[in-house]
A and B are shown apart, each in its own frame.
Chain A
Amino acid sequence: MKDTNESRVTEDGRTIGGILMEMRNITLRFGGVVAIKDISFDIREGEIRAIIGPNGAGKSSMLNVISGFYHPQEGDVFFRGEKRPAMKPYQVANMGIARTFQNIALFEGMSVLDNIMTGRLTHMKSGMLAQAIWWGKAEREEIENRELVERVIDFLEIQAIRKTPVGRLPYGLKKRVELGRALASEPKLLLLDEPMAGMNVEEKEDMSRFILDVNDEFGTTIALIEHDMGVVMDLSDRVVVMDYGKKIGDGTPEEVRNNQDVIDAYLGVAHD
């Protein structure tokens, strides 16, 4: 960890800055089950960081620790150089961390537009009385945020379905809307839990393009969990590999690909 705050420029011209988030010696237990065991890694500003590992490795638990849903028994989370105290998920959201879920967690009864508008909630501050009367600030704020949301809708190419209730949409579009909701909050760190799960090749290509564009155009830092190795190796700058709650590899895709522990974990070797 010598070069903690040096920024560098990647081959394709993106700037990767200092450390945005650092997990230090995280241990998470559920009763007797150890889901995460003494894991440390960092996420740098502007990079795409992948977390991979076989099923049950503790990847989603890790994401839940980052988004404040689980509180680790040991270890600390540092965000922008400061230690983050134990927080409720909505407080974490207010710090600028947004996420999507492995199995879509959209608000089924609301339209696509309303769903993405909920992503702006952390930015909308007008009081209840102002909203009840719908005059001045409340309406102005609504329209300003609507403009930002429309930009996200354009970006994700879902203009045609903006008034459709989410419950009626097919799976691939729901995934896209969920990404839109996370993007609408203009997060500093975007967590994606299996963004390509259950998609066909074409949908995966679309989604990959959106992820790269988000990172490139908005400079959003992204941490993602994904099982499709091709996607992970192509998209990410650095990869953390987990197995049975432990970190077994960390580095660029090439380094990880050639790591013997990683190969063992994926191809199967008797665990001692």
Chain B
Amino acid sequence: MFYREAGDFNTSYKQDNQTFPIKFDRWRYYAVLAVAFGVVPFFINDYWANAVFVPFLIYTIAAIGLNILTGYCGQLSLGTGGFMAVGAYAVYKLMTAFPDVSIVIHVILAGGITAAVGVLFGLPSLRIKGFYLAVATLAAQFFLVWLFNRVPWFYNYSASGQISAPERTVVGVAVTGANTEAWAKYMISLVFVVACAWLARNLTRGTIGRKWMAIRDMDIAAEIIGVNPLTAKLSAFAVSSFFVGISGALFFSVYLGAVEVGEAFGIQKSFLVLFMIIIGGLGSIFGSFAGAAFLVLLPVLLKNTLVGGFGWATDLAAHFELVIVGGLIISFLIMEPHGLAQLWRVAKEKLRLWPFPH
């Protein structure tokens, strides 16, 4: 009824290749963008920015990155936390070494450095697959965290061993440091998310994306039709780590401000991002958004209902929250193993016909 594609004809392959081929979808996408850029920044306060929007946006970038590697190219990685740490420390070193250069360039460079590190740790993928590769990337996770803890050069020999972001501005507005306003944090994260999602979408719909998916679905056949597994896998590691590095850089500089590597980028972060893409949907950019939203919003929502709604004690609620989130994840995966993105697709299929299914 309200979701229809009648009268929507594609007359060229360019039109057929659009990300949102249905006009209704396209308009909804523009509307979401308009609200995100034009409405939210004026109403956002510190609580909403720090508890919901900024972590959601930054985790989305990490989820997109991991989704490219695991969801599109089929290479399981447990090193996401470590690669985020590389992004964070790279941006920290760059920020302190070249204070005059724009933070935006630093964040992008940090992504590039992480991409190089990712390629290095991706080399084992040429020989091993599946769970064994996961164990190899686990080595990256522990090694990188250890490295940033033990080598004082990385944290500029500070007494606490922490790194903390100095104030940096974009067009005169502080985006890092203690004086940053909520909307500035939100806006810089949003710009990076939109750019990353756009790049990821372009990469995954073209030749490179098809190479990755061919490797994922059947690597032997992929090789027979002319995919060089070396370049395909390593490019997936590079692109994935690039996004993860950007996410780590923002996570440190914009969101937290000060970071202790073991706490912020430990193994639990790797698992968190992995759960995001499993719940959101492997091999889907929208799934990365959905999964990040689910795992960031759910605890906030539960806390507010349990403490605010039912009047439970905070500590009780905090523990119970874990139980409920865990239970929801399990039941959710049993009901829809392909994630929120699949649920969304099914809903759309249904809505196309509703309310006249014949």
Contact = CB atoms under 8 A, between A and B. Distances in A.
Interface of A: 67, 69, 88-90, 93-94, 98-99, 101, 105-110, 114, 117-119, 121-122, 124, 126, 128, 131-134, 138-139, 141-143, 146-147, 150, 181-182, 185
Contacts of A126: 206-207
A182 B226 CA distance: 11
Contact of B226 (A90, A109, A128, A150): A90
Given A109-B213, A110-B217, A132-B199, A119 B207 contact: no
A143 B13 contact: yes
A131 B225 CA distance: 20
B207 A109 contact: no
B14 A131 contact: no
A107 B206 contact: no
A172 B269 CA distance: 45
A146 B13 contact: yes
B218 A106 contact: yes
Contacts of A99: 224
A105 B206 contact: no
21 contacts: A69-B220, A98-B225, A105-B221, A106-B221, A107-B221, A108-B217, A109-B217, A109-B283, A110-B217, A118-B211, A121-B207, A121-B225, A124-B207, A126-B206, A128-B239, A131-B208, A134-B202, A134-B206, A141-B207, A182-B225, A185-B225
Contact of A90 (B206, B223, B239): B223
Contacts of A150: 13
Given A110-B213, A121-B211, A143-B13, A131 B223 contact: no
Nearest to A117: B210
Given A105-B218, A131-B203, A132-B202, A89 B210 contact: no
B225 A142 contact: no
Contacts of A146: 13, 17
B111 to A, nearest CB: 12
B216 interface: yes
B221 A101 contact: yes
A128 B225 contact: no
Interface in B200-236: 202-203, 205-208, 210-211, 213-214, 216-218, 220-229, 235
B223 A107 contact: no
Given A93-B226, A99-B224, A107-B221, 19 more contacts: A67-B224, A69-B224, A88-B228, A90-B225, A106-B217, A108-B217, A109-B217, A110-B210, A110-B213, A110-B217, A114-B213, A118-B210, A118-B225, A126-B206, A126-B207, A133-B202, A138-B202, A182-B225, A185-B225
Contacts of A94: 226
Interface in B179-210: 199, 202-203, 205-208, 210
Contacts of B206: 126, 131, 134, 138, 142
A263 to B, nearest CB: 35
A143 B203 contact: no
Contacts of B213: 107, 109-110, 114
Nearest to B224: A89
A109 B221 CA distance: 14
Nearest to A191: B224
A56 to B, nearest CB: 21
A223 B236 CA distance: 35
Nearest to B21: A163
Contacts of A121: 207, 210-211, 214, 225-227
A119 B225 contact: yes
A69 B225 CA distance: 12
A107 B220 contact: no
Contacts of A133: 199, 202
Contacts of B216: 107, 109
A139 B211 CA distance: 16
Contacts of A93: 223-226
Contacts of B221: 101, 105-107
Nearest to B228: A90
A105 B226 contact: no
Nearest to B200: A132
Given A90-B223, A118-B210, A143 B218 contact: no
Contacts of B223: 88-90, 93
B235 to A, nearest CB: 6
Given A89-B223, A118-B225, A107 B214 contact: yes
Nearest to A67: B224
B235 A128 contact: yes
A90 B227 contact: yes
Contacts of B207: 121, 124, 126, 131, 138, 141-142
Contacts of B235: 128
A131 B68 CA distance: 15
Contact of A107 (B202, B205, B208, B218): B218
A240 B303 CA distance: 74
A149 B302 CA distance: 50
A121 B208 CA distance: 9
A122 to B, nearest CB: 4
Nearest to B199: A132
A131 B202 contact: yes
A114 B283 CA distance: 14
A229 B202 CA distance: 48
Contacts of B210: 110, 114, 117-118, 121
Given A94-B226, A121-B211, A181-B225, A128 B217 contact: no
**Residue of A108, A118, A147, A185 with most chain B CB atoms under a 10 A cut-off:** A118
A208 to B, nearest CB: 24
